[in-house]
Structure 1
Amino acid sequence: MTDEPIIIPKWIWIIPVLLVFLILGYAFSPTDQDGRPILLLPDIRAVEEYRVAIVRWREQAQELDTQISTILSGKYGDDLFTRSRESQKMIDAGVRLIQN
């Protein structure tokens, strides 16, 4: 036997390391509703948070509109006190929605 050291080429140990990183990245990457990975770069994250906030705001505005339509439809009849109280609740909800 010779005393020469065994030389392992770099590509032999680089491939398993890359595979481990790929598996870890695939397992722990955040995904959207369709299962696609989301890049969390600061700019992209800010846009995604804004998009989600707009969708939530739109849903809240539609819910508020439905409630206002219910008040105006005459569900409460001629009871002005109840209509006034419910209208004030809707105004408060609208102000909170705008402030958020």
Structure 2
Amino acid sequence: MIHIRLSRRLLRWSGTVVALLVFLGCCYSLGSRLTPTDATGRPLLLSPSVYRAERYRRSAAEWVSRMEEVDRLLTGLLAQG
């Protein structure tokens, strides 16, 4: 049977390093999910007012696509009747 001796200082230091790496990984993951991106997927650095305008623009684009679908469905219904 093999016995390995490790000092408490080394264990404490190793635990600190592992905890720091996990924390940094979580911060990176959170940042990559919440950072707004452009059409090519590159991150955008926006001021709060520009961010709100960009969010509204994206919402408006979704509304337009939904309205186009509703228009297409209604046109199909009118063509049948």
TM-score by length of 2: 0.51
Alpha-carbon offset, residue 39 of structure 1: 1.7
2:41 is aligned with 1:68: no
Could you tell me which residue of structure 1 aligns to residue 60 of structure 2? 54
Instruction: Give the Cα–Cα distance (whole angstroms) in 2 for the partners of residues 71 and 35 of structure 1.
Output: 38
Paired residue total = 50
Q: TM-score, normalised by structure 1?
A: 0.42
Structure 1 stretches of 5 or more lacking a match? Answer: 1-23, 78-100
Q: What amino acid is the match of 1:42? A: P
- Percent identity over paired residues: 34
Q: Which has the higher contact order (CA 8 A, sep 6+)?
A: 1
In the TM superposition, 1:1-100 aligns within 5 A as 28=31, 30=35, 31-74=37-80
- Distance in structure 2 (CA, Å) of the matches to 1:36 and 1:69: 38
Q: Looking at secondary structure, tell me which structure has more helix per residue.
A: 2
Q: Which has the larger Rg? A: 1
Q: Secondary structure at the match of 1:73?
A: helix
Q: 4+ residue runs of structure 1 moved beyond 3 angstroms?
A: none
Cα offset, 1:41, TM superposition: 1.6
